[in-house]
Each structure stands twice: as structure tokens, then as C-alpha cells.
A and B are shown apart, each in its own frame.
Chain A
Amino acid sequence: MKSFINSFIAAYAHIKANKQVFLASVSSMAMALSIFGLFLFVFVNLSSFFASWSSGVQLIVYLDDGMGKDEQKDFEKLLTKNPDVEKITFISRDVAWQNFQNLFPVDSGFLASLNFNPLPASYNLQFKPSADRVDKIRQFAEILKHNDKVESVEYGEKWISRFETFMVMTRIFIYALGSLIFVGLVLVIYNTIRLSVYTRKDEIELMLLIGATPRFIKVPYVFEGVTMAIAGAVISIGIIKAVHLYLNFQFMDPLASITRGFSFQFFSISFILGFFLSCATIGWIGSFLSINQFLNSYYKK
């Protein structure tokens, strides 16, 4: 514990004695982390946007007008038996008619000319998200189509299929891009810490000369690397929050009207804590590797 505190004090003394190097390193890390953080921000918001789209993928089963209450119960049991169905919503003829009427102005001549309800009752089925969701919807639609009490089924097969392909391709692109940015981020952090270690070459060399243990030299640098990474992470979260506020201020109203209530999401507290923890880990690994590599270059003379 005593050596831990001493190392922490030594790290603080390092930072104090090399303020400029520390600030330059933190700035570089903050920039790299901001790029990665902005990517995560886009990712989180795209996911939320796609999730709202995805919830619109459904199978509509129109029922025959002659379906009795007992028959309807049996039919509903058939629907609930399917393990891929996530949610079932029944829309009666009256509700369907009411919804339809709401689409027209009150004094519409068209509605006045219709003196009966032409709309059938229906079930809206939402399926659990999965890679083969379209196939499952198609198969179930085929089964239901042959039921006597079903008037027709509708699920926009082509649109769903294209949407699913788009989602898969988008995910692959996002993960590939994310991996590239992450690797770049790790390299930037590693090299930034390495440079800050090299600026203190003389000090490390002297410590080795006068009998410092490798641990005595390493631990303050590792603390410093972690501090740099966390400071960079705090700044980058601040930058992303500013971007989030700006986007919501400028674009929230037009976007909400176009996309049925979509708004830009910021990271959750647990996500932010995870981000800090990841940055601290990268800082720890980066500084550990840098100082180890540096010390090994001396040992191998």
C-alpha cells in the first residue's frame, strides 16, 4: 500500500514536472478518443433509429367477416403458439374503421358516401428480431393464407427482405469501421504514451543507473498513462455531449416529424463508465508496453 501511494505521488510529481508534455499527450488522446466517441455516438443513434424501423416490420392477417368469437379464440391460440411471434395486436372492424376515418378531414365527402364499414378485423403480428426473420414471416404467412377464416395476409415481402439485407450490410460496415477506428485509437494512445516516455529518457536512464527496480520505474509511468487516458476520455465525452446538444438544438424538431419521434440519444451512465474503464485499460496497457519496451532496449545493450 505504501509503495502504491509512493508511486502515485511519483506519478503526480512527473506530471507536475512535465506539464507541457502531459497536456500535449492528453490533447492528442482527447482528439483520438473524440473521433472514436463520435463513431460510438453515431452507432448508438443508428441502432436506435433502426430499432424503430424494425418495430414496423409486421405481418397483418385480415380475418373473414364471418369469424365467430370461439373461432377467433382458437385462431388467436394458433398465433400465440408460434415461438417467433413477439407481439400480437387485434384490431376490430370498428377500430379499423375509426383509424381509417381519422385519416380524412371531418367534412370529407368520401366518408359520407360510405354508409357501411368495408374494413375487416385483423391481427398485427410482430416477429422477434433474427437473421431469418423474413423467412419465418413468409412461412407463417403461407400457413395462415390457407386458413378458411383468413381473408388475406400482407407483409411487404420485398421491402422487408431489402430492409433486412440493408441492416446486415450496415452492421458489417459499422463493425468493420469501428474495429479500424479502435485499432487506430489504440495505436495513437500507445505512441503518445511512448513519446512521453521518450521525453524522459535521461531520467529513466539515471534511475536504472542508481539502482531503481524495474517496478519502481514502471509503476509511476503506468499511473501517468492511465491518468492521461482518463483525462482524454473526460474531454472527449465533453466534446461529444456538446455535439449532442448542438444536434438536438438544431435538428430535433424536423427529425422528429420525419421519423416518428426520433431524437438523438446520448450515452447512458453505464456506457460512459464503461468508456472510462476501457480508456483507463488502454492507457494502462499502452504505458505498460511502452515502458517495458523502453527498458528492454537498455537491457539488450
Chain B
Amino acid sequence: MIQLFNIYKTYSGNIHALHDISFTVKKGGFYFITGPSGAGKSTLLKIIFRWENVDQGQVLVNGINLSKIRESNLYILRRHIGVVFQDYKLLPGRTVYENVALAQEVIGASKKSIRLKTWDALKSVGLTQKRNAYPLQLAGGEQQRVAIARAIVNSPKILLADEPTGNLDPEISQEILKLFIKANQSGVTVLFATHSQNLLKNTNFPAISLFRGKMTANTDIS
């Protein structure tokens, strides 16, 4: 599903964000990407949905080499990938429903589809009751649920999560993790970046460990 071959990424100021990263993610798998802050987890995810370009190496998603995709066609790749961030990235001026529906609107879905799919997505994260609330009226965990609903509303093949529990307490974090596991059980490939060892303890998913931009392990947690 996702293949990375000898990826190098350097930011200005000669900061090596990623150094010779190679791994393969199988279709329908659930993978943790672990490591401390500054390990390169976010950069790695950004490279997979081509928010960042690599300096060296090749990235294949569904057999398509990302470097061959023209900038004006990047939207095609991104429509197959749902992304969830630590800071939720919700639009404060739009309601919960409108935030989730936006993902349907941008792909040009019909009004009927927008209504049905947005409702389904909100239902799957348990937020139908709060559909008319604004993001700032919600707790952190609820805001992250809205972000997850927005990420899954277009039925993506891949779900990328960049520290989605970074701002949440352990109990809520477990609930958020369960939502990703639920999505994975429906066939979605999930890459879940986290520095929390607690989340990894209770699962048996493989983990890709990074430290200062280098891969230190590609292990099966179990």
C-alpha cells in the first residue's frame, strides 16, 4: 500500500529531518510511528500525503510514485488519504456538521451524499448530538472526534494520524485510538504517529521507531 525507499529530507539550516528511511506498509494494516519529539514522525507523514517533498528517495502509494504526480493533480492522492492532526485543524466559523461536510463539498459530492455521509461519519464518532455546535464550544476530545469524522467521511483508503492524542488525557486518548482501530477494522490502512508508550502497550500493532530522523526499529510490538 505504502512503500518508502531510502528517503532523505533536510530542512533549511541543514537540519536532517529524515535520513535513509525505508519501509513497507501493507494494505489494511495498522502501524504506529513512534519516537520522541523531533524524531521525524510528522515529516514522514507529510511526505506520504506529499505536503512535503523528499530530497532523495522514492515514495509509492498504491503503486504510484508520488514524485511523478503533478502539483495540480495532488488532490487526487489526498482524496484517498484522511489526515488527523494534533491541533485538529477545524474551522472555528463553521459548525461541527459544516466542518465534516466540507470534506464532501471539496470533492464535489451531491447534496444528498453530503447529508448522508456527514451524518454517518458523525454517528461513527458519536457526535450527532453536537452537530450544530462550533468547535470552540467542544472539549479537546470532542474536537478530535470531529477531525476524525472529517478524515473518514470520504471513505479514504489510508488514514494518517499525526499525534492525534497529543493534547488529550490518557482516558480520552484510548477512546480516540479505538476510533482509529474501528476504521482499520473496516479495511482502512492506518499510520498512527505518537510518542506515547502507554498507547502502544495495550495493542499488538507493529511500530516504526524513529530517532533524530533515523529508523531505529521496525518491530512487531507483540
B:77-99 near A, CB below 8 Å: 78-79, 83, 89, 91, 93-94
- Mark out the residues of chain B between 14 and 49 whose CB falls within 8 Å of any chain A CB in the assembled complex: 49
CB closest residue in chain B, given A214: B72
Partner of A301, one of B51, B76, B83, B91: B51
Q: Which chain A residue lies CB-closest to B90?
A: A206
Contact B53 A210 (CB under 8 A): no
**Closest partner residue, chain B, to A217 (CB atom):** B106
Q: Which of A15-29 contact B (CB under 8 A)?
A: 17
Question: A180 contacts the other chain (Cβ, under 8 Å)?
Answer: no
When distances are taken between beta carbons in the complex, the residues of chain A under 8 Å from B79 are: 210-211
Q: Considering the chains assembled together, what is the distance between the CA atoms of A17 and B72 in angstroms?
A: 27
Is A202 touching B78 in the complex (CB atoms < 8 A)? Answer: no
Q: Closest CB of chain B to A263's CB: distance in Å? A: 51
**B-chain residues with CB within 8 Å of residue A208 when the two chains form the complex:** 74-75, 78
With known contacts A208-B78, A214-B75, A299-B71, A17–B107 Cβ distance under 8 A? no
The answer to whether B52 has its CB under 8 Å from any CB of chain A is yes
B91 touching A212, Cβ below 8 Å: no
Cβ of A71 within 8 Å of any chain B Cβ, yes or no, is: no
Q: Considering the complex, give the chain B residue whose CB is closest to the CB of A299.
A: B71
Tell me, in angstroms, the Cα distance from A206 to B71 when the chains sit together: 16
Q: How far is the CB of B109 from chain A (nearest CB, A)?
A: 11
Q: CB-nearest residue of chain A relative to B98?
A: A13
Please, how many angstroms separate the alpha-carbon atoms of A225 and B93 in the complex?
A: 21
Contact between chains at B102 and A210 (CB < 8 Å): yes
Contacts of B107 in A (CB 8 A): 211
With known contacts A216-B106, A301-B51, A209–B83 Cβ distance under 8 A:
yes
Q: How far is the CA of A301 from the CA of B102 in the complex (A)?
A: 25
Complex: A210 Cα to B49 Cα, angstroms: 10
Q: Does B157 contact A (CB under 8 A)?
A: no
From 180 to 233 in chain A, residues with beta carbon under 8 angstroms from any chain B beta carbon are: 202-203, 205-214, 216
Q: B149 in the interface, Cβ–Cβ < 8 Å?
A: no
- Name which residue of chain A comes closest to B106, CB basis: A212
Residues of B within 8 A of A205 (CB): 89
Interface centre among B75, B102, B107, B150 (most CB of A within 10 A): B75
A211 touches B71 (CB 8 A): no
Q: Is the pair B78, A206 in contact by a Cβ cutoff of 8 Å? A: no
Contacts of B102 in A (CB 8 A): 206-207, 210
Residues in A with CB closer than 8 Å to B150 are 210
Residues of chain B contacted by A210 (CB below 8 angstroms): 78-79, 83, 102-103, 106, 150, 154
Contacts of B51 in A (CB 8 A): 209, 298, 301
The residue of chain B having its C-beta at the shortest distance from the C-beta of A17 within the complex is B93
Are B106 and A301 interface neighbours, CB within 8 A?
Answer: no
Contacts of B89 on A, CB cut-off 8 Å? 202, 205-206, 209
CB-CB under 8 A from A299, the residues of chain B are 71, 74
List of A residues within 8 angstroms of B72 by Cβ: 213-214
User: Which chain B residues lie closer than 8 Å to A202 at the CB level?
Assistant: 89, 91
For the complex, give the distance between the alpha carbons of A113 and B98 in Å: 98
Measured between beta carbons, the chain A residues less than 8 angstroms from B103 are 210-211
Give min CB distance, A211 to chain B, whole Å: 4
Q: Using a CB-CB cutoff of 8 Å, which residues 223-281 of chain A contact chain B?
A: none
State A52–B139 Cα separation when bound (angstroms).
75
The CB with the most chain B CB atoms within 10 A, among A209, A211, A216, A298, is that of A211
Pick the residue among B49, B52, B75 that contacts A212 (CB under 8 A): B75
Which residues from A are CB-within-8-Å of B94? Answer: 17
With the chains together, A301 CA to B49 CA distance in Å? 12
CA distance A254 to B25 in the complex (A): 87
Residues of A within 8 A of B93 (CB): 17
Closest to B11 in A: A301
Per the bound structure, the CA–CA distance linking A299 and B75 in Å amounts to 12
Nearest Cβ on chain A to B214's Cβ, whole angstroms: 22
Say whether A211 contacts B106, CB under 8 Å. Answer: yes
**Chain A residue with the shortest CB-CB distance to B92:** A202
List residues of chain A with CB within 8 A of the CB of B76. 211
B94 nearest CB neighbor, chain A only: A17
- Whether A207 contacts B106 in the complex (CB less than 8 A), given A301-B51, A301-B52, comes out as yes
Query: 14 other contacts beyond A17-B93, A211-B79, with CB at 8 A cut-off?
Result: A202-B91, A203-B91, A206-B91, A207-B106, A209-B51, A210-B78, A210-B83, A210-B102, A210-B103, A211-B75, A211-B76, A211-B78, A212-B75, A212-B106
Q: Which 10 A-B pairs have the closest CB atoms?
A: A211-B79, A212-B106, A211-B78, A299-B71, A210-B103, A211-B75, A17-B93, A213-B75, A301-B52, A206-B89
Q: List 8 A-B contacts (CB under 8 A).
A: A3-B108, A17-B93, A206-B91, A209-B78, A209-B83, A211-B154, A212-B75, A213-B75
Listed in ascending order, the chain B residues whose CB lies under 8 Å from chain A are 49, 51-53, 71-72, 74-76, 78-79, 83, 89, 91, 93-94, 102-103, 106-108, 150, 154
